[in-house]
Structure 1
Amino acid sequence: MAAPMKTALRFIDIGVNLTDDLVDVLQRAFDIGVQKVIYILTVHHYHHLHRHTITMIFVTGGNLTDSKEALELAKTNDKLYSTVGCHPTRCTEFEENNDPDKYLNDLLQLVKDNKDKVIAIGECGLDYDRFKFCPKETQLKYFEKQFLLAEQTKLPMFLHCRNSHTDLIDILKRNQDRFVGGVVHTFDGSKEAAEALLEMGLYIGINGCSLKTAENIEVMCSIPKERLMIETDAPWCEIRPSHAGSKHIKTTFPTKKKERWEKDFHVKSRNEPCNIIQVLEVMAGARNEDITELAATVYENTETLFFNQR
């Protein structure tokens, strides 16, 4: 088991779904270098946050209720920031009370009331792998509606895309003058899809799910480092031994099965923000780039999109 790297690397994890052990999980993240976290609040709740320099974590909203809860969490720590929006699999909520305009306006007001903590509109986009949660036409309709939020707040967009790159790109092109930029997180698309997103000035977020196959690695390597961001999407999207890029991992952490968990151990097979160092190691190793320089560039990319425009 390798010890965590002792370097001055800094990270901003742009996608985290925090659940049970929040305090311990966050601390491990901050210890390893996470500076800010964009937190994605889901129906699960981490209990505790393990250790290189994560300076921020972004807490991203999945719907109106989650966005409110994400904001409350973000207000508890200077390194936590939040997004506000509706995930494609939750877009039926726009119509649940027969007042889609009110739902949209409530999201907008939430952003306006919390300008110091909200750094993007999202998580919004398209998810064609999970129509059982929300039909395609509903996703398309209310993804496009959310450009109003970006247009009126001048905030970048935090974008979700699953097996839907063609439609996502078409909608983004149609609305390109309504938003100031954004990132497509957990990117697992083709080189052609990446090129289309880059042509619109968008950034591309990379995590374990972006690095599963040799083709994924090849696509990641084709993206200019000036357009890359890094994330864990914890507690999912860990880099597994079967993944193509796992050979580049140098930093590991002690784990125990959930039923035998002890403080200072990771829960086996549960991703954490501190594992962001592993994503960086795979990216730098596959790209044959200096890890410190890559980390610095990715950090600056994230600062530029989410904080320099504020």
Structure 2
Amino acid sequence: MATASHSTLTTSGILEPAATQPPTDYKPRYIDIGINLADPIFRGRYHGKSRHPDDLKGVVQRAQEVGCTKLVVTGSSFKSSRDALKIAGEFPGTVYTTAGIHPCSSSIFSKSHHRHHDESQSEGEEGGEAAAEEHTPACGPDPTKPILDGEGVDHARTETIISDLKTLIEEARTGSSPPSLVAFGEFGLDYDRLHYCSKEVQLHSFSAQLALAASLQPQLPLFLHSRAAHADFVRLLQEAFGPRLERLEKGGVVHSFTGTASEMHALMDLGLFIGINGCSFKTAENCEVVKEIELPRLMLETDGPWCEVRPSHEGWKYLIETPKPPPVSTSTLEPAPQPNGEGGGGEAAPLTKRQQGKKNQKKEPEVPERFKVVKKEKWEEGAMVKGRNEPCTIERIAKIVAGIKGISVDEVCEAAWTNTVKVFGVVEPQ
């Protein structure tokens, strides 16, 4: 079936073709650009303890059932990047990866860091072995006292870290055909969580990794992180790739975006894509920002196991499906009680058994669940675990974006699919 297309004028004044309109028989298809499948929680481990069997295969299967056939697993440290590559080997053609050092994992560049960078597992490593297996929630500031600047960076160690990261990337690019590594990252700046790494060290980490990313031949697309650090974030990108990022050959996405509308437009003007997940719908202001994202710059993600859409989020209302009341048959209506056998007023008649049964019926959920959801203590095969966000929930992200923009889910899906394939190349040419 032929499809229609049109062009969109971007904020930078460039006429850019929009995503092709989906055909009438279109089935939604998704690529989750940010899913942390390397986190131990997808193997049944919580805070360092095993709570249920490894159910990673079930997680991937549920994603495929909703049409999410491509998953890009985030690498945020040496360990998580290597673990992500192993998972890609388990699910060839479905799972792809990134490799980089998250700003909250960047303490490996500091003088005060005493463990080898290849052993540092995640942002939570300072809390001991259990914390090292548990990543920090990916959105929202933390009130913990920040680490102040002044600890200094270890330049000798930096050379080793960057050399090892380059080796990891080069080996991953030649280790499978087609390569499962599709982006450099996750890396960037996070000033909301300076309790994991000081601003001084984060800036050093980001700058050093940008230099490596620019030197790669061919370059990789960038998988970027920016929280409350827009000015420094853009400045370092421009220093590495030019004022218009003209030397950034493969583009990049700023994932899990929660910034302002002006920040978002500035990023789009630089040619970057915007990744949207549950954290992007928290407030009415967040939703207004999502409304202004141009479809040719949109990508979708879950950022599981975190960033699920919650009832407290402004975007939740777009998921609510109010069931229509069943038609009422006049033959089943009960006559109204009559005082003294005549008009209104008087005591109400007791409820009939039918009326009592309807009153006691369990209320249907406002937002239906596609899969059964259980607590981890009551894990069962085929069910989702409560509080553990999965890639199958990406259909909710698309539905909310569509509701905010007032367009069809199909348009959102096809635009995000087209954009992601263009940048990350996760679908082989036909």
What TM-score does the superposition give when structure 1 sets the normalisation length?
Answer: 0.87
Tell me the equivalent position of 1:106.
164
Letter aligned with residue 129 of structure 1: D
Q: CA deviation at 1:212?
A: 1.0
Contact 1:204 1:229 in 2 (8 A): yes
Matched residue SS, 1:264: coil
Contact 1:121 1:149 in 2 (8 A): no
How far does the alpha carbon of each residue in 1:220-279 deviate from its partner, in whole angstroms, 9 at most, with x for none? 110101100000001111111111111211552321122122222211122110000000
Contact 1:147 1:179 in 2 (8 A): no
Distance 1:266 1:165 in 2: 36
Distance 1:140 1:286 in 2: 35
The runs of 5 or more residues in structure 1 that have no matched partner are: 1-5, 34-53
Tell me the equivalent position of 1:125.
188
Tell me the equivalent position of 2:316.
246
> Are the structure 2 counterparts of residues 241 and 85 from structure 1 closer, same or farther at C-alpha, using a change threshold of 3 Å?
same
Tell me the equivalent position of 1:141.
204
Letter aligned with residue 165 of structure 2: L
Task: Return 225-234 or 150-159, whichever deviates more.
Answer: 150-159
Contact 1:123 1:158 in 2 (8 A): yes
Distance 1:309 1:144 in 2: 31
Distance 2:58 2:212 in 1: 34
1:61 matched to 2:75? yes
Distance 1:150 1:30 in 2: 32
Letter aligned with residue 172 of structure 1: L
Tell me the equivalent position of 2:65.
31
1:12 matched to 2:31? yes
Task: Return 73-82 or 247-256, whichever deviates more.
Answer: 247-256
Contact 1:121 1:155 in 2 (8 A): yes
Tell me the equivalent position of 1:39.
none
Matched residue SS, 1:105: helix
Letter aligned with residue 248 of structure 2: F
1:94 matched to 2:109? yes
The runs of 5 or more residues in structure 2 that have no matched partner are: 1-24, 44-54, 117-155, 174-178, 322-367
Contact 1:121 1:150 in 2 (8 A): yes
Contact 2:73 2:98 in 1 (8 A): yes
Q: Percent identity?
A: 42
Tell me the equivalent position of 1:214.
284
Matched residue SS, 1:269: coil
| Pick aligned residue for 2:408 from 281, 290, 302 | 290
Tell me the equivalent position of 2:98.
83
| Pick aligned residue for 1:150 from 205, 213, 237 | 213
Task: Return 252-261 or 61-70, whichever deviates more.
Answer: 252-261
Distance 1:112 1:269 in 2: 36
Q: How many residues align?
A: 285
1:233 matched to 2:233? no
Distance 1:260 1:7 in 2: 37
Distance 1:149 1:292 in 2: 38
Matched residue SS, 1:15: strand
What stretches of structure 1 move > 4 A for 4+ residues in a row?
95-98
1:179 matched to 2:248? yes
Contact 1:207 1:231 in 2 (8 A): yes
Matched residue SS, 2:90: coil
What TM-score does the superposition give when structure 2 sets the normalisation length?
Answer: 0.64
Q: CA deviation at 1:309?
A: 11
Distance 2:109 2:286 in 1: 34
1:196 matched to 2:266? yes
Greater share of residues in strand: 1
Matched residue SS, 2:33: strand
Q: CA deviation at 1:7?
A: 6.5
